[in-house]
Chain A
Amino acid sequence: MAQFFETIILIFGLFAWSRSFLRYRSRDINFGEFTLWTIIWGGLILIVLASTPVYRFGKLFGTGRPIDVIVYSSIILLFYLLFRVFVKLETVEKNMTKITREIALKKK
């Protein structure tokens, strides 16, 4: 059962990386962003492939299967990324308000 999940994750990782590559090739994302996604998806694939050391690593944190380490780490990473997105959104909103207010005052 564990192997089945790891195969699914492996296929998903490869698929996600290919999407990043296609977006880089069509210049939707720059090289830096492509590198970041390569590290993320490549890391995921590596963890699945190198399951024995990860299994030992997972034992340290009390998780039985390598996939659990990936899932838990992913949740933490997602929360962090969500936080960053919200902070960025807040900055964009504030800038929008500033511009809107300035234009309103200037037009008067």
Chain B
Amino acid sequence: MVKIAKNSEFTKSKNVVLFKDLWIVIPAYNAQKTITKVIENLNDYGYRNIIVVDDGSNDSTFESAQNTGAEVLSHMANRGQGAALQTGISYALTKNPAAIITFDSDGQHDPSDIEKLALKVLSEGFDISLGSRFLGVQSNAPLHRKIALKCGAFMVYLFHGLWFSDCHNGLRCMSRNVSEQINITSDRMEHASEIVEMIKQNYWKFTEVPVTIHYDDESLKHGQSTFSAFRILARMVWRKVIK
């Protein structure tokens, strides 16, 4: 049984993965209002290995993230969340991580959920664990958002034959092995569907973990609108056509 220990609980046991072996990747675009608090919350939980990828923001996201002491990479132009995630994962791999967590910059994720996701990968042998706002925890998602997410999950099921209750949730944990294999080529939000495709193609062992999503004005502004669900669908179809 693998345990996750904070740095202060250092032990030489082989079955203990220290927080310092978990790396958290946060793609951020125009997130100056939330990024500092998101990183501080993670720090409060003992997570220090934080990589922020500023995806060509027009505001001071880069400076705000840098002031917190996190490692910050910068895209000189906005390329989308998928592209930013792949940059962050590539950089995290140079740090010899035990596992990599992806986390949103808008403050909707709860740092307390990270441990549950990480334990699935590090202790129970899953290759990848994905957060779901629709499992176990009572979801406070607005109705239009619920409909859009469920439609998205259904479309992903139609495309790839795998059912995820919440495949567009940005909170995930992937093993080092998966992080080395993963190659996100979808620049924008359709990367979630691409990850499902990779899970199927590579026979990765996966699981969903109930997580809490905090909705406020900022996270709703940054999240996917009902309209963007159609845009994602169009891009999924387009990717299939030109593949």
Q: Which residues of A contact B (CB under 8 A)?
A: 86-87, 90, 93-94, 96-97, 100-101, 103-105, 107-108
Q: Name the B residues within 8 Å of A101 (CB-CB).
A: 75, 79, 83, 86-87, 90
Count contacts between A and B, CB distance < 8 Å.
42
Chain A at the B interface: SS class: helix
| A86 surroundings in chain B (CB, below 8 A) | 238, 242
Query: Given A93-B187, A97-B187, is A103 in contact with B76 using a C-beta cutoff of 8 Å?
Result: yes
CB pair B79–A96 under 8 Å, yes or no, is yes
Q: Is the CB of A105 within 8 A of B238?
A: no
Known: A96-B77, A97-B187, A101-B90. A108 touches B83 (CB 8 A): no
CB-CB contacts below 8 Å: B121-169 with A: none
A104 and B74 form a contact (CB under 8 A): yes
Known: A86-B242, A101-B90, A107-B73. 6 other contacts (CB 8 A): A86-B238, A93-B187, A94-B187, A100-B75, A104-B53, A105-B90
Are the C-beta atoms of A107 and B74 separated by less than 8 Å? yes
Give the interface size class of chain B: 10 to 19
B binding-site residues for A, Cβ under 8 Å? 53, 56, 71, 73-77, 79-80, 83, 86-87, 90-91, 185, 187, 238, 242
Give the distance in Å from the alpha carbon of A83 to the alpha carbon of B77 in the complex: 26
- Which of chain B's residues have a CB closer than 8 A to the CB of A105? 73, 87, 90-91
B74 smallest CB distance to A (angstroms): 6
- Which partner residue on chain B sits nearest A101 by CB separation? B87
A104, B75: Cβ atoms closer than 8 Å:
yes
Alpha-carbon distance between A107 and B87 when the two chains are bound, in angstroms: 12
| Residue of B whose beta carbon sits closest to that of A90 | B242
Instruction: Say whether B75 contacts A108, CB under 8 Å.
Output: no
Question: B87 and A104: CB pair below 8 A?
Answer: yes
Q: How far is the CB of A10 from chain B (nearest CB, A)?
A: 37
CB contact under 8 A between A100 and B242, given known A105-B87, A108-B71, A108-B91: no
Q: How far is the CA of A62 from the CA of B79 in the complex (A)?
A: 48
Contact of A100 among B76, B91, B185 (CB under 8 A): B76
Q: Which of A90, A100, A107 meets B83, CB within 8 Å? A: A100
Whether B79 contacts A97 by the Cβ 8 Å rule is: yes
Q: Which residues of B contact A100 (CB under 8 A)?
A: 56, 75-77, 79, 83
A96→B56 CA distance, assembly (Å): 13
Contact (Cβ within 8 A) B73 A97: no
Residues in A neighbouring B53, C-beta threshold 8 A = 104
Chain A residues lying within 8 Å of B238, measured Cβ to Cβ, are 86, 90
Cα–Cα distance between A26 and B137 once the two chains are bound (Å): 66
Distance of A87 Cα from B79 Cα, bound (Å): 18
Partner of A87, one of B74, B77, B242: B242
**Distance of A107 Cα from B91 Cα, bound (Å):** 11
Q: Which of A94, A96, A104 contacts B73 (CB 8 A)?
A: A104
Chain B residues near A103 (CB-CB < 8 A) = 76
3 closest Cβ pairs, A-B complex: A104-B73, A101-B87, A97-B83
A108 close to B76 (CB less than 8 A) = no
Residues in B whose Cβ lies below 8 Å from that of A87: 242
